[in-house]
Amino acid sequence: MPFALLKDRALISVSGPDAEHFLQNILTTDLDTLSPGEAKPGALLAPQGKILFDFLISRASENDFRLECRADIAEDFVRRLMLYRLRAKAEIAKQDQTLVTVAWGDDSTASLSDSTKLTDARFRDVAVRRVYSGAAGDGDAEAWQALRIANGIAESGSDYQLGDAFPHDVLLDETGGIGFKKGCYVGQEVVSRMQHRGTARRRVLIAAAAGSLPPAGTEVTVNGRPVGILGSVSGGRGLAIARIDRVKAALDACDAIMAGETAIILAIPAWAKFTLPRDTVSAEEA
């Protein structure tokens, strides 16, 4: 059964009688809908609505939460959480020597020996499990990246930079990472306005080429004008965060979409509900 040991991940624990109330008031994820055995995506935003930290959150036990994030941002994330804690009765700490393993497929628990197996709620068309312990070997990191790409699952660092993307840009509104029915949280006004006005223009799309794609960070263009940026790449497939109005205009005009010097096709992930806009930008605006 395919699996991968993710060596670049870390766990932060938030526990105590006020832990859930504290997190519910600052994170995009609606913890009222977070079930035991589930890992849901989310973000801590700047007041202007852009993502400062992204993560997967799960319940360790009553009043005890785990936030899985990139290892290189974990210490900064802990410090930011502590700034918001104020008088809340919640303990915040980075866990030591955490190992994160993912497995996928028809029996995605076969390779995982730990008793705590979490369903990665971002994936709709394939069963993905996460466990916070090691596995028998490193597994196949390239296969894991290819799976993420095939399912349109973007992550910071690989696909976008923190502080430079709104939750809608990276499909948190579609993967359960935003609670639209919960109360206020940091950056909520901007996110809510984008949702209700339908003004999200940048979206994660799946890029495909006849040959190999150029590396992450390559600009995606139409007639020399920028449309987006290429993110994670695996052979001839990759992720791109692109202006969907400009992509629609290119498709309508039968203009080539390029990643560097490589012609590509951009497609909406099969499970996603958003569509290309009816109204497109003019050539001058593009």
Residues 6+ apart with CB under 8 A from 7: 71, 99, 138
At 72, phi and psi to the nearest 5? -75, -15
Average pLDDT, whole number, for the chain?
93
* Rounded Cα distance, 225 and 246, in Å: 10
Give, in order, the Cα–Cα distances in Å from 193 to each of 187, 189, 198, 222, 271: 10, 6, 8, 29, 24
**Nearest to 36, CA basis, from 101, 153, 115:** 115
* Rounded Cα distance, 238 and 259, in Å: 11
Residues 83-125 have pLDDT tens digits of 999 999 999 999 987 789 999 987 645 555 545 689 999 999 9
* pLDDT score, position 109: 54
262 alpha-carbon distance from chain centroid: 26
Residues 6+ apart with CB under 8 A from 202: 165, 166, 168, 169, 228, 241, 242, 243, 244
What DSSP designation does 31 have?
G
Residue 188 amino acid letter: Q
Residues 136-152, mean pLDDT to the nearest whole number: 93
281 has a pLDDT exceeding 70: no
Kindly report the pTM of this predicted structure.
0.93
Q: Is 233 helix (H, G, I), strand (E, B) or coil?
A: strand
Residue 147 amino acid letter: L
* pLDDT score, position 68: 98
What DSSP designation does 32 have?
G
286 has a pLDDT exceeding 50: no
Q: What percent of the chain has pLDDT over 70?
A: 93
Which domains are assigned to the chain? Answer: 3-153 (3.30.70.1400), 201-267 (2.40.30)
Residues 6+ apart with CB under 8 A from 61: none
